Amino acid sequence: MSIQGVGLNSPVLNKVHNLQPKTIEAYNSKSEVAVEDTKNEAVSDVEPEKKSHKVRNWSIGLSAAAILIGLGVAGRKGKLGSTIEKALGGGTGNDSGKFADNVAGSGKADDGIVIDEISAEEFERIKNASKINGGGKESVQPKAEQPKVEQPKPEQPKTEVPKAPTISQAEKDAINAKIDRTLPLIGEDLKSVKAPTVEDIEKMGYDFSKFELKAEPKARKELVLKDGRRQTIKYDENGNLDSVWIYSANDKYNCESWIRFNKGNFRLIYISERESFYYYNPDKSLDYVYKVLNNADINYDNKGIIKSYLLKGENNTVIKDIDFFPGTGKIKRITYGANGYEPEKALKVEKFDEKSATPVKEIYIKDGQEIEG
């Protein structure tokens, strides 16, 4: 059996349009499951026929037919009550069944309007498609994921790798012509020194047991020793013991020596005759020695062995700074034109080993950068 459709002016449709919204809502709330079962049962009775590929106005007819079939069959089974059955079929009982038959099985078009036939297979396909799409509602296709567009990163400024400095042979020759490569004569008396002990210092006139560590800020005390020498005790701005000076008995302006304190601890003694500063640790052990000559500054380690020899020229300029291997007196490095701790200001650096008197490495300084020659 084929379904031809429902005419637009069919009295059946007119009856549906005249239904009150409350009646439809009551039906929907009470018999939603029954209508679905009935729709499936009604469709199963349709016999397959030859396919028709000419369908006009099928969307309007199919929607109305689906609703009316469900209402009619539900009415036949007594699902809707007498009031709805009368509205649909004009009666109760068998009348409602006639209405369902008229809707589902009539092969006539109403009011002379002819609707092309559609086959049961095509109806079934359309019906099932409507279920898949959500009961006849327009399906919402998921939006295709848009490809992520990466924002171009701001171009980073290119960091140029500095080129290794170079130096020509002519530039090397010019530097060697400026420097004095002769080694100074360092006597045995200068290669090592003997630092005075605390007992030796006390014998020189410094009695540590009698020094007051606190006094008035910037206070000064004057004492005369037994041998006629004068002793001056000075305090800093916080009233802490700062230094003690001893002047000659024959010359009140001639300072023979002086000692200094740091936070209450004995720190150093300067002996003018030796032109030397002897530095001590808080436990009064020797730290290092610094000796000043007319044209050189010499540093010694905590054993009194020479560490460095700084040769100076006019206006206290540095000619060369010689470093020695600890405790040996042998030359380790010579820095020309600057102190050893400021090689970037020098002209050239020569390095030695403990076996040879000639340098094993020559480093030239150009624009403050070291270049091995």
- In tens, the pLDDT along 113-126 reads 445 556 667 666 66
Q: Percent of the chain scored above 70 by pLDDT?
A: 61
pTM, two decimals, is 0.56
96: which residues sit within 8 A by CB, 6+ positions away? 72, 75, 76, 80, 85, 88, 89
pLDDT on residue 68: 55
- Beta-carbon contacts of 38 under 8 Å, excluding residues fewer than 6 positions away, are 69, 70, 73, 74, 77
Whole-number pLDDT of residue 78: 54
Flag whether pLDDT at 2 surpasses 60. no
Question: 18 or 194, which is more confident?
Answer: 194
Q: What pLDDT, on a 0 to 100 scale, did the predictor assign at position 141?
A: 61
Instruction: Give residue 157's pLDDT band: very low, low, confident or very high (50, 70, 90).
Output: confident
- 127 pLDDT tier (thresholds 50, 70, 90): low
As a whole number, the mean pLDDT across the chain is 76
The rounded distance, in Å, linking the Cα atoms of 22 and 26 is: 6
The pLDDT of residue 245 is above 80: yes
DSSP E strand boundaries for the chain: 220-224, 230-235, 241-247, 255-262, 265-271, 276-280, 286-292, 296-300, 306-312, 318-324, 331-336, 348-351, 361-366, 369-372
Percent of the chain surpassing pLDDT 90: 47
- Per the CB < 8 A criterion, the answer to whether 4 and 115 are in contact is yes
pLDDT at 233 over 90: yes
Measured distance CA(365)–CA(342) in Å, rounded: 11
Q: Ranked by mean pLDDT, which of 12-26, 57-71, 348-362 comes out on top?
A: 348-362
The answer to whether residue 331 scores a pLDDT higher than 50 is yes
Calculate mean pLDDT across residues 185-213.
93
Q: Which residue type does 330 have?
A: K
Tell which wins on pLDDT, 343 or 3: 343
How confident is the model over 161-178, as pLDDT tens digits?
767 789 999 999 999 999
Q: What is the pLDDT of residue 162?
A: 67
Burial 266-287 (b: 16+ CB within 10 A, else e): bbbbbbeebebebebeeeeebe
Contact 338, 363 (CB under 8 A): no
pLDDT in tens, 283-313: 999 999 999 998 999 999 999 999 999 999 9
Instruction: Determine which helix (DSSP H) or strand (DSSP E) holds 87, and give its type and residue range.
Output: helix 81-89
Q: Is the pLDDT of residue 99 over 50?
A: no
Q: Which of the four pLDDT bands, split at 50, 70 and 90, describes residue 328?
A: confident
Tell me the pLDDT band of 211, cut-offs 50, 70 and 90: very high
